[in-house]
Structure 1
């Protein structure tokens, strides 16, 4: 049976997931507040399959009418428009229940919720797995964790993907900061950084949507957590910039080494297991 997939929120990550789904023969609908005017700008020109765009606002239930019937898979991956608790609550804690209330769920067999490793908080460089107790430092992690908990209690198979920091094409702000000499990183003690290439994040989302018996939670990161000052110094060297000076750790993030062992054991192979190689490919 052809999968009928709804992507709720379809930015860069959603588009990369959509293209994988289309290549696999799925029908794909994508919900955005502002769908693209020219669909050819975001879909492969070599494929006859196209994304079906829907206009709607996840924070306004009155705009969610007329969703397609018979959706079999839902990926919830919106990007809040502002780093504000009220916005996060509206998008996640209120938006996901509102979407499910508006959706014909008679054929729905899987919900994927794209969450964040921000749910873990501070671990002073220790290894973190899916069984590590979540203890968010910021409102974003708390709201995402509350949404995960609500979703897990629903009578539909669901999985939460807790992504580390994304990088990839168009996400080179760090490189710009290194070139400008404005990046800083603590050295003593080191602050551990975790990354995942956006194409690997899309591959993980695609993989979990189709996994027959997934666990409730997966960490989405590469194989190689690095001290932040080591990553920054390496990237600075690659672009001919000076190594960054010592500075404070990123606020409300927490130092930890994320393990992707559960995700790899489920059958996913990463294209970019080390962010240094992933960044090198981007810089080429």
Structure 2
């Protein structure tokens, strides 16, 4: 990984992805500061060698004086905090960051990376979805995340010089693998159907995508990138492969609507990450679900 020595990185909403990024950046020599509302995560981040960890609600302005402005790099990896917290976490949280970044008398942020979601895309029916597609959400939650993207896109250069929006596919990785947990526990029935494609991305590949943005040459301006692995596969295929690895019989799908947050049916589509590969040279370490889950299975021990 490229050296980050002499650079100052601030990570907001420093949870599952942000913590992995923080550890990688500290190892690369960056001065890393973070904000989280979770005391346990704050303690773990301090133990990882971060220069400063602030425990606060991102959406409230009370933390603004505690973190100096003008950082070389800022990354917003906030999560919702619950089904009723989308607006507060994503929209009000982004407003808070931009207000902090644009305070009078300080330098603007050099580069800001925001980990958004492919839930902003309403497309289905097997469509291949790239960054040129309409992206205002099919659910209330998707529309909320889309609105937070608009805030960043429209931020003045007095607050942020360069900004990247990363629309992440379904996140999995160490400690985060719900489907694998269900099958390992011996589930005989899964809700929904198996015919739609799962668009997945491993946590470590997200970190690599963020770092690619932070290190992007000056010739690459503000952009939106999809971040997904290279081989979206149907849910039934993923389940069958995992069951074979676990030595368990395949469960049946109960045929109910597989709903995502916000209540809409799970869409069948293929998220394309060709743009970030072409423009930043990013390539996933785990190009498909087999590569990613095989490491998780080996780490946990085969049954």
SS at match of 2:131: coil
The aligned counterpart of 1:264 is 277
- Within a 5 Å distance, the mapping from 1:52-201 to structure 2 comes to 52-84=52-84, 87-103=85-101, 106-154=107-155, 155=157, 156=160, 157-178=162-183, 179-187=186-194, 190-201=195-206
Q: TM-score, with normalisation over the residues of structure 2?
A: 0.84
Compute the RMSD of aligned alpha carbons.
2.1
Check conservation: 1:35, 1:53, Cα contact below 8 A: no
> Structure 1 residues 37 and 204, CA, compared in 2 at 3 Å: closer, same or farther?
closer
2:224 is the alignment partner of 1:217? yes
Which structure 1 residue ranges, 4+ long, deviate > 6 Å from structure 2?
none
The aligned counterpart of 1:34 is 38
- Separation in 1, partners of 2:42, 2:129: 43
Give the deviation of 1:107 after TM superposition: 4.3
- Separation in 1, partners of 2:244, 2:51: 41
Check conservation: 1:152, 1:216, Cα contact below 8 A: no
Unaligned stretches of 5+ residues in structure 2: 299-303
Check conservation: 1:35, 1:54, Cα contact below 8 A: no
- Separation in 2, partners of 1:134, 1:244: 34
> Structure 1 residues 160 and 38, CA, compared in 2 at 3 Å: closer, same or farther?
closer
Unaligned stretches of 5+ residues in structure 1: none
Superimposed CA distance per residue, residues 114-171 of structure 1 (whole angstroms, 9 cap, x where no aligned partner)? 1000011232111111111114221221111111112111123111000000111111
Check conservation: 1:70, 1:108, Cα contact below 8 A: yes
Count of residue pairs the alignment pairs up: 276
Give the deviation of 1:173 after TM superposition: 1.9
Moved more, 136-145 or 110-119: 136-145
Check conservation: 2:9, 2:72, Cα contact below 8 A: yes
Give the deviation of 1:55 after TM superposition: 2.0
> Structure 1 residues 123 and 174, CA, compared in 2 at 3 Å: closer, same or farther?
same
> Structure 1 residues 69 and 38, CA, compared in 2 at 3 Å: closer, same or farther?
closer
Q: Which of 17, 24, 30 is the aligned partner of 2:28?
A: 24
- Separation in 2, partners of 1:219, 1:37: 27
Check conservation: 1:77, 1:113, Cα contact below 8 A: yes
- Separation in 1, partners of 2:275, 2:137: 21
Check conservation: 2:36, 2:42, Cα contact below 8 A: no
Q: TM-score, with normalisation over the residues of structure 1?
A: 0.89
